[in-house]
A and B are shown apart, each in its own frame.
Chain A
Amino acid sequence: MLELRGASYRYAGYAKEVLHDVDLRLDDGEIVGLVGPNEAGKSTLCLVASGLAPASIGGTLRGTLTIDGVEAAGLATHELAERVVVGFQNPNTQRSGIAATVFEEVALGPMNLGLPVEETVERTREAIARLKLEPIVRRDPQRLSGGQSQLVGIAALLAMRPRHVILDEPTAQLDPAGTRLVGEALRALAGMGTSLLVAEHKTDLLDGLCTRVVAIDGGRIVRDGPAREILDDPALAELGVEPPARARLSRALAGLGVDAELVAATAATEAGS
């Protein structure tokens, strides 16, 4: 379990705090969606929840972060890396820059953890299979498209088999198929007990994926509850968050005799099935 209590954070060299009194809890096997307008603090929250702020980038954190019962404040960055990983949306920065092939790129994480070769290879193969990257295993990571790079970046994190995964807009560069793929991979992870925090604009993705949704605005948590409840809230749009198509259409058709359940059922199944 990963828990933030009363977290307020200020970047190094800045006077103002950008997160205010944030409480956030990720239970094992939970997928929590994080929504909010840009510049509301989603990325900062991801950094703080991973412990990297302040462990790696400095700054001042008030409040506590506890990971699996251990206070993060006392952990070195590589100790944090063994417990929680955080991925960002820019595939260029997620790339190590030293791997000759996609396989190596994904293998770097487990290798850095000092694992024996067989274990590294097994974890790498598993992560590659999860994200269906087999066709491009031998390719040069520098020569991939934005979408492929993003998938490789996610695989590289999953190969470390962390207990907690935090992803900041993991599907930003992906086409609908890639987005679905990531959703399936994350769902499978949660099924194995991993806890996930996923910051996304694509509320359609979160709609089918998350158990809980947290909304942040101006550095404060303004909503925290069951996914369906939060995403169906008509006030979501005022927060700068696009409601999922399912919620929007249900509302539009509500007065016209179309059952919300029918809308939900259509959203859940694939076209033509």
Chain B
Amino acid sequence: MAASAESLGAFLIGGYLGPLAILAVVLASAAIAGVAGRLVRISLLLTLPIAISVVLVSVFTRAGTHVLFSIGPFDATTEGVDFAGQTLVRLLAISTSIGLFGLTTDPRSFVLDLERRGLSSRFAFVALATLEAVPAMVERAGVIQAAQRARGLDTEGSVRARLRGVLPLVGPVILSSLTEVEERSLALEVRAFGRPGRRHLLWRVPDSGAQLAARAALLAVLLLSIGARLAGVFPSLP
């Protein structure tokens, strides 16, 4: 919830002030949660590709009067730099908000809490199964690799040898996954996963009054910002 509010806020408030304020809030929260370092690394990593293209495009093609320098037919203007700067900060605000969500939320708890609040149990199952799918595949691939290596498949030699070794690994991983699908879905039916209706979950994600208040406050700020934007309180977006 916080992530969405903050991302929208970044757009609504405009200028540098809004996004920077949000960035500050996010980083502070991250520091409290102990993930500040990872957050900064991940956000920069994710934002960099977009950022580079945005900066290049904006700096050189934004309509403006005050030219700083030129490369060929392209003029870099202060307006362009200004726009690039604002966009960059917004991007960072969004990516850090979402990043913070990703780093501090346990996906299982998230899905289970959604189910408790009304998400269909089938949908919850698919979401959870997808989360587990990769580790399960990795494990399976490990077993298969051991069996193939025991038959002389060389995975420690030259790069070419390793590449040649891919098919005997990929084949069984996919094949065994597929052949197991029918038996797996049968096993699920046996355990009544197909039963319509709600179920009484064993888990309850802890939710405190403080969190509830925080969510309410964020929502209020968001709504106020929307109002203010519409009323023309904020400087217009370039």
Contact = CB atoms under 8 A, between A and B. Distances in A.
Whether the complex brings A and B within 8 Å at their CB atoms is answered yes
Interface of A: 47, 50, 52, 56-57, 76-78, 81-82, 85-88, 90, 92-98, 100, 104, 107-109, 111-117, 120-121, 142, 156-157, 160
A96 B126 CA distance: 11
A112 B197 CA distance: 9
Interface in B101-137: 108, 121, 125, 128-129, 131-133, 135-136
Given A90-B183, A93-B183, A50 B195 contact: no
B160 interface: no
B96 to A, nearest CB: 28
B20 to A, nearest CB: 39
7 contacts: A52-B189, A78-B195, A98-B131, A98-B132, A111-B202, A114-B199, A142-B132
Contacts of B192: 78, 81-82, 109, 112-113, 160
Nearest to A88: B183
B184 interface: yes
Contacts of A121: 202
Contacts of A94: 187
A84 B129 CA distance: 25
A81 B195 contact: yes
A109 B125 CA distance: 13
B154 interface: no
Considering residues A112, A116, A121, which has the most beta carbons from chain B within 10 angstroms of its beta carbon?
A112
A88 B187 contact: yes
Contact of A114 (B108, B183, B195): B195
A81 B200 contact: no
B147 to A, nearest CB: 14
Contacts of B202: 104, 107, 111, 117, 120-121
A97 B132 contact: yes
Interface string B174-207: 0000001011111111111111111111100000
B200 A142 contact: no
A111 B180 contact: no
A90 B185 CA distance: 13
Contact of A93 (B180, B194, B195, B196): B180
Given A78-B195, A100-B108, A142-B139, A120 B132 contact: no
Nearest to B127: A98
A85 B135 CA distance: 28
A88 B198 CA distance: 27
A157 B189 contact: no
